[in-house]
C-alpha cells in the first residue's frame, strides 16, 4: 500500500495583488488561488513541491527541501507578509493507505524548518485523509 503527500508554503489574505506579492517576496509561486464570487475575496499564493506517492513518506525531508528553496527569500517573504497583511502557513497534506497494517508516516520538522517558520511568522497545518 502506498501513501501520498503534498507540502505547500502558503501566503493568504484578503484580495491582494499576487504580482505585488511575487515582487516583494522575490519568488514565483507554484500556484495562485482566488475564491470564486460570491464568497469572500480570499487569495492563496503557494510554493509547492510535487505530490509524492510512496510506501514510505518522509515529511521531515519534504519540509526541509521546500524550506531550502524558500530560505534565500526569507527577508522578502517576511516583508511581503507584513506589508500585505497576510497569513503564512506550511501546509502538509497526507493521504494514508486504508490498510490498517500499513505504517503511518511520521510527521515532524527539522530545526531549520522551524527556524524559517519562526522568521516569517508562519503556522503549520496538517491534513490527513484515509485513502479508500
State the Cα torsion 7-12-16-17 to the nearest 10°. -10
Which is more confident, 103 or 53? Answer: 53
Q: Which of the 8 DSSP states describes residue 121?
A: T
The whole-number average pLDDT for the span 35-60 is 86
pLDDT at 64 over 90: yes
Selection from 37, 47, 35, 36 nearest residue 11 by Cα: 47
Selection from 59, 61, 44, 118 nearest residue 93 by Cα: 59
Residue 12: strand pairing partners: 44, 87
pLDDT of residue 109: 96
pLDDT of residue 99: 72
Distance from the first to the final alpha carbon of the chain: 11
Is residue 9 reached through a cis peptide bond, with omega within 30 degrees of 0 on the bond before it? no
Q: How many CB atoms lie under 10 A from the CB of residue 38?
A: 6
pTM of the predicted protein model: 0.89
The alpha carbon of 119 is separated from its chain's Cα centroid by a whole number of angstroms, namely: 15
Selection from 49, 66, 79 nearest residue 110 by Cα: 66
Amino acid at each position: 500500500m502506498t501513501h501520498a503527500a503534498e507540502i505547500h508554503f502558503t501566503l493568504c489574505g484578503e484580495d491582494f495583488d499576487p504580482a505585488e506579492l511575487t515582487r516583494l517576496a522575490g519568488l514565483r509561486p507554484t500556484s495562485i488561488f482566488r475564491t470564486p464570487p460570491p464568497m469572500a475575496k480570499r487569495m492563496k499564493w503557494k510554493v509547492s513541491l510535487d505530490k509524492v506517492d510512496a510506501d514510505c513518506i518522509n515529511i521531515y525531508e519534504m519540509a526541509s527541501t521546500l524550506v531550502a528553496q524558500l530560505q534565500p527569500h526569507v527577508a522578502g517573504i517576511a516583508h511581503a507578509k507584513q506589508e500585505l497583511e497576510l497569513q503564512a502557513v506550511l501546509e502538509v497534506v497526507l493521504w494514508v493507505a486504508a490498510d490498517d497494517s500499513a505504517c503511518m508516516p511520521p510527521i515532524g520538522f527539522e530545526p531549520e524548518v522551524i527556524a524559517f517558520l519562526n522568521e516569517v511568522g508562519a503556522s503549520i497545518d496538517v491534513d490527513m485523509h484515509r485513502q479508500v
